């Protein structure tokens, strides 16, 4: 046996020597793997810091599109708090909820525009009916009956419904919306003095013609009759019994 070289007996009686550097090589390989893992971990942590904490990817601008200046200004006010926040940390769902909390907003969508912006789309609630309230106030409601805001005067082209009882009931609002929905768009904006009497019968004026609509039933049929009969420019139209309409 040679000195300094470990040996082991084989089954055939011969002696095999182990390489003296094998243990040292294994040790160097393990250290290299540990160094690689440590480097990868540091890189990952650095990437996370850059993405979620560094100002490198902080929100620099908010791009807002909307159907009116009013709702764009609402969205701008809400999203101002996101400027300077790393874009991946912005809670877009929370911003959407805050914008939609304003009754004048029908819908809001907030998206991340990488690397440093937010993209906001906001839709205004469109009033189609004014509901007369006490003290000269008017609730503006959309086609779904949701109150957008309370004003002192309805915008031009938005009919206002009033009640003989002094208070328009939820059923009355629903009936008035059904009436307006049934009418063609060309007539909707011309509707004036929309009233509901104590029997829930509705009437309104279109130009110089007074229309007795009746109840909320058969709205589509009544709307077609009104459109046809208005061509004769009568003083009155009564479609409360749509099978036997009358004019004067």
Q: Report the pLDDT value the prediction gives residue 89, as an integer from 0 to 100.
A: 84
Query: 63-97, pLDDT tens digit by residue?
Result: 999 989 999 999 999 999 889 888 888 898 999 99
The domain ranges of the chain are 22-53, 57-124, 129-247
Query: 179-234, pLDDT tens digit by residue?
Result: 999 999 889 889 999 999 988 899 999 999 999 999 999 999 999 999 999 999 99
Query: 124-159, pLDDT tens digit by residue?
Result: 999 999 999 988 899 999 999 999 999 999 998 899
Least confident of 36-45, 105-114, 183-192: 36-45
Architecture of 57-124 per CATH? Answer: Roll (3.10)
SS in 3 state form for the chain?
Answer: CCCCCCEEECCCCCEEECCCCHHHHHHHHHHHHHHHHHHHHHHHHHHHHHHHCCHHHECCEEEEEECCHHHHHHHHHHHHHHCCCEHHHCCHHHHHHHHHCCCCEEEEEEEEECCCEEEEEEEECCCCEEEECHHHCEEEECCCCCEEEEECCCCCCCCEEEECCCCCCHHHHHHHHHHHHHCCHHHHCCEEEEEECCCCCEEEEECCEEEEEECCCCHHHHHHHHHHHHHHCCCEEECCCCCCCEEC
Q: Which fold has domain 129-247?
A: Rossmann fold (3.40.50)
């Amino acid at each position: 046996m040679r000195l300094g070289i470990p040996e082991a007996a084989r089954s055939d009686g011969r002696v095999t020597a182990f390489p003296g550097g094998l243990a040292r090589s294994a040790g160097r390989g393990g250290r290299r793997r540990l160094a690689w893992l440590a480097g990868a971990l540091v890189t990952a942590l650095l990437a996370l810091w850059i993405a979620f904490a560094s100002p490198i990817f902080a929100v620099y601008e908010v791009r807002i599109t909307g159907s009116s200046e009013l709702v764009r200004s609402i969205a701008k006010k809400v999203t101002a708090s996101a400027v300077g926040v790393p874009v991946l940390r912005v809670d877009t769902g929370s911003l959407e909820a805050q914008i939609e909390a304003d009754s004048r907003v029908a819908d809001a969508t907030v998206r991340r525009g990488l690397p440093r912006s937010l993209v906001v789309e906001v839709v205004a609630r469109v009033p189609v009916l004014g509901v007369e309230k006490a003290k000269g106030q008017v609730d503006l409601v959309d086609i779904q009956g949701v109150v957008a805001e309370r004003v002192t005067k309805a915008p031009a082209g938005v009919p206002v419904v009033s009640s003989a009882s002094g208070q328009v009931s939820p059923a009355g609002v629903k009936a008035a919306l059904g009436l307006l929905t049934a009418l063609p768009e060309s007539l909707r904006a011309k509707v004036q003095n929309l009233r509901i009497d104590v029997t829930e019968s509705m009437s309104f004026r279109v130009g110089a013609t007074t229309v007795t609509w009746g109840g909320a039933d058969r709205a589509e049929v009544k709307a077609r009759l009104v459109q046809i009969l208005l061509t004769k420019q009568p003083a009155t139209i009564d479609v409360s019994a749509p099978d036997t309409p009358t004019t004067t």
